[in-house]
């Protein structure tokens, strides 16, 4: 199949938002997405995050959402917040194309590394990351405070 991988623009945000909701359902957290489409629009336009998309026949079918952050040990880092391909297009190489372009983008931003999270039960994702030589750190725990 023929896929296009490109930087997203504001016209893509509804499709990106829908992919994030689809990911939340996949991760058994269907009510966890509290950010709104308006939040996405405001923060995308403020350059809080960037995103690339995969398209097929003019339809967005996947996305990588990321932003620059800082590692006190390693320097400039890019954090991959979400990486999702809609279910109908999984296992067709779309994810690899998106991931490869994400790595290109991170290198172009002069990042020293990229970092993200994966759920311990998400075996397909873990296999994908291991295939791409990712280091899965199992000794670090997630910590957060949620403001309501």
Q: What is the mean pLDDT of residues 114-140?
A: 95
pLDDT at position 91:
93
> In the chain, pLDDT over 70 holds for what percent of residues?
100
Give the C-alpha separation, 76 to 86, whole Å: 30
pLDDT at 1: 75
Given its phi and psi angles, is residue 86 left (phi above 0), alpha (psi -120 to 50 degrees) or beta?
beta
Return the CATH superfamily for domain 4-131: Gcn5-related N-acetyltransferase (GNAT) (3.40.630.30)
- How large is the average pLDDT for residues 118-125? 95
pTM greater than 0.85 (yes/no)? yes
Confidence at residue 137, expressed as pLDDT on a 0 to 100 scale:
94
Q: Which structure tokens are listed for 6?
A: 């490109």
């Amino acid at each position: 199949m023929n896929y296009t991988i490109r930087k997203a623009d504001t016209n893509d945000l509804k499709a990106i938002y829908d992919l994030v909701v689809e990911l939340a359902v996949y991760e058994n957290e269907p009510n966890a997405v509290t950010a709104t489409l308006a939040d996405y629009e405001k923060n995308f336009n403020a350059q809080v995050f960037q995103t690339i998309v995969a398209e097929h026949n003019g339809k967005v079918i996947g996305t990588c959402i990321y932003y620059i952050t800082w590692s006190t040990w390693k320097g400039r880092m890019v954090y991959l917040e979400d990486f999702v391909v809609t279910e109908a297009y999984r296992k067709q190489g779309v994810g690899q194309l998106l991931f490869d372009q994400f790595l290109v983008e991170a290198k172009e931003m002069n990042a020293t590394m990229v970092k993200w999270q994966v759920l311990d039960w998400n075996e397909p994702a873990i296999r994908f990351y291991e295939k791409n030589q990712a280091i899965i750190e199992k000794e670090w725990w997630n910590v957060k405070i949620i403001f309501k």
